[in-house]
């Protein structure tokens, strides 16, 4: 039995979905433990492209079980749409997906409040996905949320929703936004509640029973380390613990049952939304966008792009306890003459080897770069480590060493076969 936590080591979109899909081959169960449908995990299987938001990427392998854990916030209408979309594409979603009774529910007032708060913030906005994630976790922490177990109990749900709509319409009124209709929300949520009821389970007990039988579990992280509510670049973060600890609290599997942490990182850096990004680079962004790459899977926004930043990934190793590294999108750098890596920040004469917590200081950070020669050879056909150009191997060894973990997977394209195991 072996349990593996997979986390993003940067600001999300590291290619977690692709790596999860590859690693699922060796697992029995895949669990999502935090976040909601703000996540967008793209997986290519053959010529088919799947974009998963709430359903674990493990669903694409028919014999595996998938769990949406207690730490996730679920928009049930959106989840039903996602399940229906997967069914249409021929994916099995029957008897292999389980939803935690205690996961919290995202409501239209959460989405509306998310949008209204962003408008009010103006130029200081976070650039959220407007999926209601912050307000839904806010309700959970304030103990005013509703859980899946409430959604699937019609009489309790009606009473709770009546109160919540009344309360939130008062708040929306204060924002100058239109109130929500109880009837409309109730009808849509009752319908999705009925659809989801067969999937709902005590997933903590289910996971522990499976572990008792020796099951191998993969914990699929969403977002990335620097979007973590505690360890990220606050307030430009999401509202959950995206770091390894979130896999424990979000599933009920304790830390002493975890065996390995895999960190996924791109060979460069991207970020969607606002917030600090010291190694951001317009030329890299243009190059990648012109290749049709780096557009968000959830909102379609162009991702901000920049050089690889080992201050970021080194700190990710520290807070997640990353053992193994999967480096993706190596092929994105194939055409460059020379490649920079940020190894520290400078503010005036002072050097920082970590991301300062002070917002003003953070915004003043100038990257300190080291330079690597580009390999200027396509890597997308490499299937073994020795197939990679020597300069690419040197670059990958260097960024893994700077990150402080063992390089075990290299990805040179979105497809399953474009994966090299070291
Ligand atoms: P996630 O949110 O971490 O699962 O990442 P996303 O799926 O949002 O974004 C990663 C993107 O890179 C997706 O479009 C993947 O299909 C793609 N991808 C993953 N690994 C590679 C790779 O090695 N090379 C290329 N070209 N694309 C990749
Ligand atoms: P995956 O799982 C990249 C970003 C948003 C915004 C901030 C807060 O695909 O890696 P939120 O809607 O969560 O309140 O937005 O977090 N963000 C992501 N960026 N990948 C994601 O997920 C993200 N989920 C949220 O762009 O900056
Ligand atoms: Mg993504």
Q: How far, CA to CA in Å, does 386 sit from each of 33, 146, 382, 402, 421?
A: 36, 53, 8, 22, 11
Residues with CB under 6 A from ligand 1: 8, 12-18, 40-42, 44, 297, 328-329, 331, 411-414
Residue whose C-alpha is closest to residue 412's, from 404, 422, 403: 422
Distance 414 CA to ligand 1 centre (A): 6
Q: Please list the pLDDT of the chain residue by residue as tens digits (422 residues).
A: 799 999 999 999 999 999 999 999 999 999 999 999 999 999 999 999 999 999 999 999 999 999 999 999 999 999 999 999 999 999 999 999 999 999 999 999 999 999 999 999 999 999 999 999 999 999 999 999 999 999 999 999 999 999 999 999 999 999 999 999 999 999 999 999 999 999 999 999 999 999 999 999 999 999 999 999 999 999 999 999 999 999 999 999 999 999 999 999 999 999 999 999 999 999 999 999 999 999 988 888 999 999 999 999 999 999 999 999 999 999 999 999 999 999 999 999 999 999 999 999 999 999 999 999 999 999 999 999 999 999 999 999 999 999 999 999 999 999 999 999 99
Q: Which residue has the tokens 């409309």?
A: 184
Contact 77/189 with Cβ under 8 angstroms? yes
H-only helix segments in 230-386 = 245-249, 282-290, 310-320, 359-363
Q: By alpha-carbon position, which residue is closest to atom 1 of ligand 1?
A: 13
Residues with CB under 6 A from ligand 2: 8, 12-13, 38-41, 126-129, 131, 133-134, 222-224, 227, 238-239, 272-273
Residues 394, 388: Cα–Cα separation, whole Å = 10
CB neighbour list of residue 65: distance below 8 Å, 6 or more residues apart: 28, 29, 30, 58, 96, 97, 98, 210
Contact 403/325 with Cβ under 8 angstroms? yes
The predicted model scores a pTM of: 0.97
Q: Which residue has the tokens 């959460």?
A: 110
Residues 89, 25: Cα–Cα separation, whole Å = 20
Measured from the Cα of 328, ligand 1's closest atom is: 23
Please tell me the number of the ligand nearest to residue 266's CA: 1
* Radius of gyration of the CA atoms of the chain, in A: 21
Residues 58, 26: Cα–Cα separation, whole Å = 11
Distance 302 CA to ligand 1 centre (A): 14
Tell me if the bond preceding 235 is cis, omega within 30° of 0.
Answer: yes
* HEC sequence for 166-221: HHHHHHHHHHCCCCCCHHHHHHHHHHHHHHHHHHEECHHHHHHHHHHCCCCEEEEC
């Amino acid at each position: 039995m072996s349990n593996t936590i997979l986390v993003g080591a940067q600001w999300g979109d590291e290619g977690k979905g692709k790596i999860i899909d590859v690693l699922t081959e060796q697992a029995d169960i895949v669990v999502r433990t935090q976040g909601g449908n703000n996540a967008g995990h793209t997986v290519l299987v053959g010529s088919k492209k799947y974009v998963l938001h709430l359903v674990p990427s493990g669903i694409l392998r028919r014999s595996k079980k998938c769990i949406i854990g207690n730490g996730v916030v679920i928009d049930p209408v959106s989840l039903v749409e996602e399940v229906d979309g997967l069914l249409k594409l021929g994916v099995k979603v029957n008897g292999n997906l389980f939803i935690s009774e205690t996961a919290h529910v995202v409501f239209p007032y959460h989405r509306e409040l998310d949008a209204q708060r962003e408008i009010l913030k103006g130029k200081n906005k976070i650039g959220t996905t407007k999926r209601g994630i912050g307000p839904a976790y806010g309700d959970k922490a304030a103990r005013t949320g509703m859980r899946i177990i409430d959604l699937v109990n019609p009489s309790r749900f009606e009473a709770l929703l009546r109160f919540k709509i009344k309360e939130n319409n008062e708040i929306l009124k204060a924002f100058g936004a239109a109130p929500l209709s109880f009837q409309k929300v109730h009808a849509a949520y009752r319908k999705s509640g009925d659809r989801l009821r067969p999937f709902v389970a005590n997933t903590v007990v289910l996971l522990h029973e499976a572990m008792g039988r020796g099951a191998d579990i993969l914990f699929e992280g969403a977002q990335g380390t620097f979007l973590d509510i505690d360890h990220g670049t606050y307030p430009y973060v999401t509202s959950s613990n995206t770091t390894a600890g979130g896999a424990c609290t979000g599933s009920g599997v304790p830390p002493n049952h975890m065996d390995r942490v895999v960190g996924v990182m791109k060979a460069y850096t991207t970020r969607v939304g606002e917030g600090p990004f010291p190694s951001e680079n317009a030329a890299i962004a243009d190059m990648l966008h012109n290749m049709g790459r780096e557009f968000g899977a959830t909102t379609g926004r162009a991702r901000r792009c920049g050089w690889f930043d080992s201050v970021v990934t080194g700190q990710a190793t520290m807070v997640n306890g990353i053992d193994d590294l999967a480096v993706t999108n190596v092929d994105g750098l194939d055409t460059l003459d020379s490649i920079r890596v940020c190894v520290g920040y400078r503010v005036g004469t002072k050097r920082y080897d970590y991301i300062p917590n002070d917002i003003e200081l953070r915004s003043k950070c100038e990257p300190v770069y080291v330079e690597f020669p580009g390999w200027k050879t396509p890597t997308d056909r490499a299937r073994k480590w020795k197939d990679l150009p020597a300069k690419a191997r040197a670059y990958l060894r260097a960024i893994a060493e700077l990150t402080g973990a063992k390089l075990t997977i290299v990805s040179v394209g979105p497809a399953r076969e474009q994966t090299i195991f070291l």
